[in-house]
Amino acid sequence: MNFADVKKTIYYLERNGLKKTWYAVMERLEERKGPAYEWKPPAEEELEAQRAHWREAGFSVTFSILTPAYRTAERHIREMIDSLRLQTYPQWELILADATEDDSVERVVQEIQDSRIRYIRLQENGGIARNSNEALGFVSGDYVGLLDHDDVLTENALYEMAAQIELGKKGGMELKMLYSDEDKCNGDRTEYYEPNRKEDFNLDLLLSNNYICHFLVMEREFIQKLRFRPEYDGAQDYDLVLRAVLELQEAERHNTGIQEAGRHKEEPHKAEESIVHIPKVLYHWRCHRASTAENPRSKLHAYEAGKRAVQDFADRKGWKAVAEDTPHVGFYALRYQGNLFDSRQDIGAVGGRLVQKGRISGGRMTEEGGVFYENLPAGYSGYLHRAALAQDAAAVDIRNIRVREECREIFRRAAGVPYRTASDKDIFDVSCMPKDCDFVRVSLAFCSALRSAGYRILYLPDFPEASQ
Phi and psi for 268 in degrees, rounded to 5? -65, 130
What pLDDT does 300 receive?
85
State mean pLDDT over 98-115: 93
Half-sphere exposure of 425 (CA within 13 A, CB side): 12
Strand partners, 424: none
Half-sphere exposure of 351 (CA within 13 A, CB side): 27
Does residue 234 come out as left (phi exceeding 0), alpha (psi in the -120 to 50 range) or beta? Answer: left
Q: Check the CA dihedral 460-387-288-76 and report its sign.
A: negative
Statement: residue 271 has pLDDT above 80: no
What pLDDT does 251 receive?
86
User: Beta strand pairing status for 92-98 and 456-459?
Assistant: unpaired
Contact in structure between 223 and 258 (CB atoms under 8 Å): no
Higher per-residue pLDDT: 423 or 286: 286
Residue pLDDT, tens place only, 313-334: 999 999 999 999 998 889 999 9
Kindly write down the DSSP assignment for every residue of 359-425, as one continuous string.
Answer: EEEESEE-TT-PBTTTT-BTT---GGGGGGS-EE-SEE-GGGEEE-GGGHHHHHHHHSS---BSSTT
Strand partners, 323: 334
- Interatomic CA distance for residues 233 and 96, integer angstroms: 18
State mean pLDDT over 388-394: 96
Q: List Cα–Cα distances, 274 to 278, 371, 391, in angstroms.
A: 13, 28, 20
Residue pLDDT, tens place only, 347-385: 999 999 999 999 999 999 999 999 999 999 988 989 999
- The whole-chain average pLDDT of the chain stands at 90
Statement: residue 23 has pLDDT above 60: no
Residue pLDDT, tens place only, 49-69: 999 999 999 999 999 999 999
Half-sphere exposure of 46 (CA within 13 A, CB side): 10
- Interatomic CA distance for residues 246 and 267, integer angstroms: 9
CA angle 448, 450, 456 (to 5 degrees): 105
State mean pLDDT over 122-150: 95
User: Beta strand pairing status for 92-98 and 63-69?
Assistant: parallel
**Beta-carbon contacts of residue 116 (< 8 Å; ≥ 6 apart):** 84, 90, 92, 93, 94
The 3-state DSSP class for residue 213 equals coil
Dihedral of the CA atoms 269, 270, 272, 278 (nearest 10)?
120
Helix H segments across 98-189? 104-112, 128-136, 157-170
Host H or E run for residue 193: strand 192-196
What pLDDT does 363 receive?
95
Residue pLDDT, tens place only, 229-244: 999 999 999 999 999 9
Host H or E run for residue 10: helix 3-31
Q: List Cα–Cα distances, 204 to 266, 341, 346, 409, in angstroms.
A: 16, 14, 12, 25
**Beta-carbon contacts of residue 401 (< 8 Å; ≥ 6 apart):** 349, 350, 351, 352, 427, 428, 443
What pLDDT does 74 receive?
93
Statement: residue 262 has pLDDT above 50: no
Residue 427 DSSP code: B
What is the distance of C-alpha 386 from the center of its chain? 11
What pLDDT does 422 receive?
78
- Interatomic CA distance for residues 372 and 240, integer angstroms: 29
What pLDDT does 26 receive?
63
- Interatomic CA distance for residues 55 and 52, integer angstroms: 6
Higher per-residue pLDDT: 275 or 291: 275
Residue pLDDT, tens place only, 155-193: 999 999 999 999 999 999 999 999 999 999 998 899 999
